[in-house]
Amino acid sequence: MAKLSVRDLNVSGKRVFMRVDYNVPMEEKDGKMVINDTTRIKETLPTLRLLLGNGARLVLAAHLGRPDGKREPSMSLAPVAAKLGEMLGQPVGFLEECVGAKAEAAVAALGNGQALLLENVRYHAEEENNDPVFSAQLARLADVYVNDAFGAAHRAHASTSGVARIVHAWGGPCAAGLLMERELKFLGDELDRPARPFVVILGGAKVSDKIKVIDRLLEKADTILIGGAMAYTFKLAHGGKTGKSLVEKDHTGTALAAEAKAKERKVQFCLPSDTVIADLKDTGKLNKKGRPVFEPINPRVISGDIPDDAEGFDIGPATAQAYAAIIQGAKTILWNGPMGMFEDKRFAEGTNAVAQAVVSATQQHGAKSIIGGGDSVKAINKAGLGDKVTFASTGGGASLEFLEGIPLPGVVCLDDK
Ligand code: AMP
């Protein structure tokens, strides 16, 4: 059922407690923390502008990093408040606390159309424990609850769900922000009733991470294209040799079961016909876990078995071409997980070819393309194509759980329309 939206609310003069995802990448420069990427802040601006324009007194809550219940200065949200003020074109107050008398007084002093950002809610261990007392303290700052933090909606924490339950019990509305609403529309409604053919592209590291998504999408998709290291577990399951590639030996049965279900449901299920492999050179260095670090050398394309000493890092050109042709004919596309180790440009060609095909299906053939978060969004942005798809999810873990059909606590707690 559709969730209540910020667009449905009368917020004039009301204290709106809004959970946002400001978990932005930061870096220390000359003793100061600076924000490396402001995408997450930018994504919230439409909801903020709507609420402030309608006269809300806006209280923003967010987490940054994993301070584990301690006041860790490098994880303060102070730089975010400053950047947000700049981007919004009006000052945003910053409060060094998120609960207590000081916070309550600052919120009481807010005028209509003014905003402040509370300090990192994870400075309190009670946040992640969804502590009812802490939730009630946060709720003292709220007449209305809004959640725009889709990326944190799979967590049942105080600020993502506990506060909402209390506001709801008091009779206050709990609504989805515009960003949250778009996530639910594209990852939910659009995929529930897809225009056909519906092509799903799944890649990434592990079958075990994606099997629930595969299983659920087998109920809806016309075609599933498999890439990434995940493909090698399927290869192994068919008796192929995978050399030193990333495989999950105990998930060959899972892989075969997925293929059997695809056959039963008449879903076209495609595995790579060729692979980019490389030999592994010992660098003599050790990683953080004390294991030797190998560097891939001598990349080349093969079809068939992967030699014992080599590792697979990408889908090959024949596979990329075949997948691109299928993608071009799609009317709905969902993509989750890169086709190879795209962070190394020698192994990014498969992922880039798929990204190009998704963009051309969208731009030239009117397909709806939905990029399901995490590394596939990184990959499409790295290829400079992020704004040429229909929708790129802001959630990593949250999108995956949502696509698996798991109810997200940060969504469940919102009022139905
Ligand atoms: P996931 O989070 O499961 O979507 O996995 C994304 C990660 O899988 C990325 O960091 C890729 O580098 C990695 N990956 C994809 N294909 C391969 C491969 N063939 N070998 C090693 N890593 C891969």
In angstroms, the Cα distances linking 85 to 49, 67, 90, 215, 355 are 12, 24, 5, 44, 34
| Angle, CA 275 vertex, CA 274 and CA 280 arms, to 5° | 155
- Whether 1 has a pLDDT exceeding 80, the answer reads no
- What CATH number does the domain located at 6-181 have? 3.40.50.1260
132 preceded by a cis bond (ω within 30 of 0): no
Rounded to the nearest whole angstrom, what is the distance from the C-alpha of residue 229 to the centroid of ligand 1? 6
Q: How many CB atoms lie within 10 A of CB 244?
A: 17
Q: Note the pLDDT of residue 102.
A: 96
Whether the pLDDT of residue 373 is over 80: the answer is: no
Q: For domain 194-398, give the CATH number.
A: 3.40.50.1260
DSSP 407: P
Of 14, 7, 95, residue with least CA distance to 57? 14
Position in ligand 1 atom list of the atom nearest CA 340: 16
Tokens of 172: 């206050």
Contact 184, 6 (CB under 8 A): no
- Say what percent of the chain tops pLDDT 70: 100
The rounded distance, in Å, linking the Cα atoms of 94 and 60 is 10
Taking the centre of ligand 1 as the mean of its atom positions, its distance from the CA of residue 373, in whole angstroms, is 14
Which amino acid makes up residue 186?
F
Residues across the chain: 417
Give the mean model confidence (pLDDT) for residues 345-358: 97
- Mean pLDDT to the nearest integer, 66-91: 97
Report the catalytic residues: 40, 206, 374, 397
Q: What is the mean pLDDT of residues 147-156?
A: 96
Where in the chain do CATH 3.40.50.1260 domains reside? 6-181, 194-398
Residue 37 has pLDDT above 90, yes or no: no
Angle, helices 78-88 vs 39-53, to 10°: value is 60
Closest CA to 225 of 329, 378, 380: 329
Mutate to test the pocket of ligand 1, among 245, 246, 251, 393 (most ligand atoms within 8 A of CB): 246
Q: Is 25 helix (H, G, I), strand (E, B) or coil?
A: coil
Residues enclosing ligand 1, CB less than 6 A?
204-206, 209, 228-229, 246, 312-313, 337-338, 340-341, 343, 374-375
For 183, phi and psi rounded to 5 degrees?
-60, -45
Identify residue 224 by its one-letter amino acid code: I
Of the pLDDT bands very low, low, confident and very high (cuts 50, 70, 90), residue 97 is very high
Identify the residue with better confidence: 4 or 291: 4
DSSP string over 350-386: HHHHHHHHHHHHHHHH--EEEE-STHHHHHHHHTT-G
The more confident residue out of 143 and 30 is 143
Distance 207 CA to ligand 1 centre (A): 11
Average of pLDDT values for 68-76?
96
d(CA 329, CA 131): 50
| Helix%, strand%, coil% for the chain, nearest 5 | 40, 20, 35
